[in-house]
Amino acid sequence: MTPGPEPSASEMAAFHAHNVERMLAHLRHGVVAAVVVTLVMAPGAWLVYPGHRWEAAIPCVAGAVWMALGSLLARTAFARRHALALTASIAWGVGLVSSVAAWNTGGYASPFFYIVFIGWIFVTAYLPVSPRQLHVICLPIPVLFGLSLALHGVAGWPPPLVAVVLLGCHAYAAFGVAGRHRDAIAAFVAQQRLAEARQELERLNGELEGRVESQVGQIRAHAAKVDRLNKELRAEVRERSRELARTLGRLDVVPIRPGTVLGGRVEVEGTLADGGMGSVYRGKDRATGEKVAVKVMREGAGNPELVRRFLSEAEAAASIDHPAIVETRHVDVDEEGRPFIVMELVEGVPLRSLIDEARLDAVDVPAIGARVADALVHAHAAGVVHRDVKPGNILLQRHAPHVRLVDFGIAKRFGAGDLLATHPEQMIGTPAYMAPEQIEGGEITPAADVYALGVVLYEIACGRRPFSGRGPALRLQKVMADPRPIDPEAGLEPELAALIMRCLRPEPADRPEARELAAALAAHEVGQPLEPSRWAARPTMAPPSRTRMRSADRR
């Protein structure tokens, strides 16, 4: 047999333990056969040597009894600890009684016992023993026999020749045991390693099956998400169709003309913008003389739910005290029963325009992001989630605080109660900036605003959004795929890029809180203040709030 790898200490220990069990098994069965043979020899000696019956037979019986005791001991725990000593004692006992028999019979019985000894050697050679163990078990026997034969030899049997024959048999057996022992070790180690490899293979197969089952489960879960998103998409198409019908139905609505006084207090001076539920006008507060922005509800004044939805913006903004959030002055109803909101007039450049015209880069990320994140900290502390953080709702000004967050038209209060209830199948917000849980109609928490701000910061740095799809494809990407990594050529510090990617994690619990995000961005802002001189020269008024997507933000 070709020698294999060198066995380790643990493998050798296991081999020796295995050999002990095999040796004891041989003793339990082989000794019984030896007892039977010895008991057959006793009557034979009784008949062959009439003058020495007792001297020949008694040692045979004694040897049989000794071997029987050994067979019984081989079944005990003691034998496992002293297997070699037990086997050697049996061999030495047989040799001793055989020598006594040869001594007492004047050597006449010796030939029988020499034959027995030679048979014993060859039987022992097939026991699972090492060469050293074979010497311990068998070598004393030819010594005893040689001694008895030398003292009481048989005529014609030269003692030296007999001793040489006996020792030669022993040497032959030892040589065979040595080779077989090496092969036994190699075979045992190979078998052990094969068993270990089989166990490892079974373990790997089990893990593979588990992973396959897990992946199948994920595929089924994704398939269920796709089905649900398809249902939501169909519901959204129906809703948008209804919106289109409502929009077409109000095309003949007469706008408020300049000079109109609302609520006996605010004089309309001109139109700023039109939104889904209302129009925004530039006005003047006659009570204070201030220039203000007035948002007037265009339709549905008799619908309590639509009125509640319209007024939720004023309630949300009024509950937050922060310089970056547009201040709400008061809420009233005009002579025709239309609710209107009087707000601070904000002049600034929409972040959307600056991104589209590529007038921002990575150095602006910390300054803009820190101010928006700080505004979100105060909004979340007041229990309000903006739900529509995007470049179109962020204005940049030449004077402090430089950054303003506007449009709380779809804000939502979390905790005690909602500012704006949303139907489970109704998706409110701008999909490109919505968190996965927001797209799926799940629970909306402050983490959704952090996700949206992460998309905005990504877009400032890279000039593109982390997901490139549109419509249903965009929704599937956000739910099932990872965002594209930030290009190193964008110039962001690695820590800042990693922070933005944390904001884009699909699980809300894995995103940083707004407070942590604001602090981290402020730390990166050191040495990179805002530079209003780099922005566009033309000022733009605050955009109107809305409760649905505009085509400009669906890109």
CB 298 within 8 A of CB 548: no
Query: How far is residue 259's CA from residue 505's CA, in Å, rounded to a whole number?
Result: 50
- DSSP-assigned letter for residue 291: E
Specify whether the CB–CB gap between 438 and 192 falls below 8 A.
no
Q: What is the amino acid identity at position 20?
A: V
Instruction: Please give the helix or strand (H or E) that residue 277 lies within, else none.
Output: none
Q: How far apart are CA 492 and CA 524, in angstroms?
A: 10
Residue 147: both structure tokens together: 């001694």
Q: Is 331 helix (H, G, I), strand (E, B) or coil?
A: strand
Query: Is residue 386 a contact partner of residue 435, using CB atoms and an 8 Å limit?
Result: no
- 348/396 Cα distance (integer angstroms): 5
Residue 384, CA distances (Å) to 216, 404, 408, 412, 543 in order: 39, 17, 9, 6, 20
What's the CA angle centered on 264, arms 299 and 419, to 5 degrees?
45
**AA identity, residue 134:** L
Could you give the residue ranges of the DSSP H alpha helices within 49-139? 53-73, 77-81, 83-104, 110-125, 131-138
Helix (H) or strand (E) holding 235: helix 159-249
Report, as residue numbers or ranges, the catalytic residues.
388
Query: Could you give the dihedral angle defined by the CA atoms of residues 418, 421, 423 and 424, in that order, rounded to the nearest 10 degrees?
Result: -10
Q: At what angle do helices 140-151 and 110-125 cross, to 10 degrees?
A: 170
Q: Provide the sign of the torsion angle of the four alpha carbons 52, 55, 60, 65, taken in this order.
A: positive
Tally Cβ neighbours within 10 Å of residue 547.
23
**How far from the centroid of its chain's Cα atoms is residue 84's Cα?**
52
CA 189, chain centre distance (Å): 35
Buried b (16+ CB within 10 A) or exposed e, 514-538: bbebbebbbebbeeeebeeeebeee
Residue with tokens 């309309």: 268
Q: Is the bond into 401 cis (omega within 30 degrees of 0)?
A: yes
Closest to 57 (Cα-Cα) out of 140, 113, 137: 113
With beta carbons less than 8 A apart as the criterion, state whether 166 and 118 touch: yes
Are 352 and 391 in contact, with CB atoms under 8 Å apart?
yes
